[in-house]
Amino acid sequence: TTSAFPSQKPKSELVRTSLRLLTSSAYRLQSECKKTLPVESCPGTDIQLVTQQVIQCAYDIAKAAKQLVTITTKENNN
């Protein structure tokens, strides 16, 4: 997120909220995907549950990205 807004902290609470969702969802996605690796997975790993979590993370990332595009488009048009 720092590369998207390198020189300043975003002033808009909506932007900050979207960036937090994007960042936390990306970390969650990384964590869930690691559970599918043979080294990381336990014998009791529920792959169906992990798959649902990955889908939810991907949805949250897309939602946050859409919010950022919408916000920045509105700001650039004003």
Nearest to 61 by CA among 16, 29, 13: 29
pLDDT tens sequence across 59-74: 999 999 999 999 888 8
Q: What is the pLDDT of residue 8?
A: 56
Q: Mind listing the domains of the chain with CATH numbers?
A: 13-74 (1.20.120.330)
Q: For residue range 8-27, list pLDDT tens digits in order.
A: 566 678 888 989 999 999 99
What pLDDT is stored for residue 47 in this prediction?
84
Q: Tell me 5's DSSP state.
A: S
